[in-house]
Amino acid sequence: MNYTYSPPLIIKKIFNDFQWDSTNNKILLTFDDGPTKEATEIILTILSQYGIKAAFFCVGNNVEKNQPLAKEIFDEGHLIGNHTFNHKRLTKISNTDAVEEIASFNSLLKDKFNYEVKYFRPPHGRFTISTQGILEKKNMRCVMWSLLTEDYKNNFETVKFAVKNYLKKNSIVVLHDSIKSKDIINNSINFIVDEVAKKGYTFGDPAECLK
């Protein structure tokens, strides 16, 4: 599956067990790949200034390396989702390995934070026909997105283009908690907040947007 900015309707229809848009007609910001020393603090500070709660789809080995940052994400009232332990493409590993990538992340969060992980997002947006079955067994839901900002290209103009053209009232927006996007993350969030206000949309809390 590869698409620019917004996934096609046909994909959403085929994989309709996955969540592509928010369920409450509000905008959900999501941050993939963290927590990182480079970006997490920047993101938490600006979200707190705006009073926005977001979902962080973290990578297990980053959580392990940066536990205080993961704790801060929780303390600020955000949600943490599973983005595998090692950020491996599910299309490139066996089913057994995929199960292990997901399970080891959940175990880490349970051990360190006594937290039950409910949501999953596949690295690079790549999933297989087995992904839904694996998640169902673990009582988890796959959260995709309706707006990919491509912030990882580190070009603010690209983010502006994506948001201007594809932001809807129920968008699940993907940004990154990583070194790749850290230089434009503040501008990107500011721009999204302005566009949301201009269009009369509102931000929602992850728990409500993903109900």
Chain residues in the site for Zn ion (CB under 5 A): 32-33, 123
Can you tell me whether residue 75 is helix, strand or coil? helix
Least CB distance to Zn ion at residue 123 (A)? 5
Least CB distance to Zn ion at residue 99 (A)? 19
Least CB distance to Zn ion at residue 55 (A)? 13
Least CB distance to Zn ion at residue 119 (A)? 14
Report the first-to-last Cα separation within the chain, whole angstroms: 25
Q: Which residues contact 168 (CB under 8 A, 6 or more apart)?
A: 21, 146, 147, 201
Q: How many CB atoms lie within 10 A of CB 175?
A: 27
Nearer to Zn ion, 182 or 201 (CB): 182
What's the DSSP call for residue 18?
S
Least CB distance to Zn ion at residue 51 (A)? 26
Place of tokens 């997105």: 145
Nearer to Zn ion, 24 or 61 (CB): 61
Q: Which helix (DSSP H) or strand (DSSP E) does residue 179 occupy?
A: none
Nearer to Zn ion, 6 or 178 (CB): 178
Least CB distance to Zn ion at residue 2 (A)? 14
Q: How many CB atoms lie within 10 A of CB 38?
A: 16
Nearer to Zn ion, 168 or 180 (CB): 180
Measured CA to CA, the distance from residue 137 to residue 11 in angstroms comes to: 23
The H-assigned helical ranges of 84-128 are 95-113
- Residue number with the smallest Cβ distance to Zn ion: 32
Nearer to Zn ion, 33 or 150 (CB): 33
Nearer to Zn ion, 33 or 151 (CB): 33
Measured CA to CA, the distance from residue 118 to residue 71 in angstroms comes to: 17
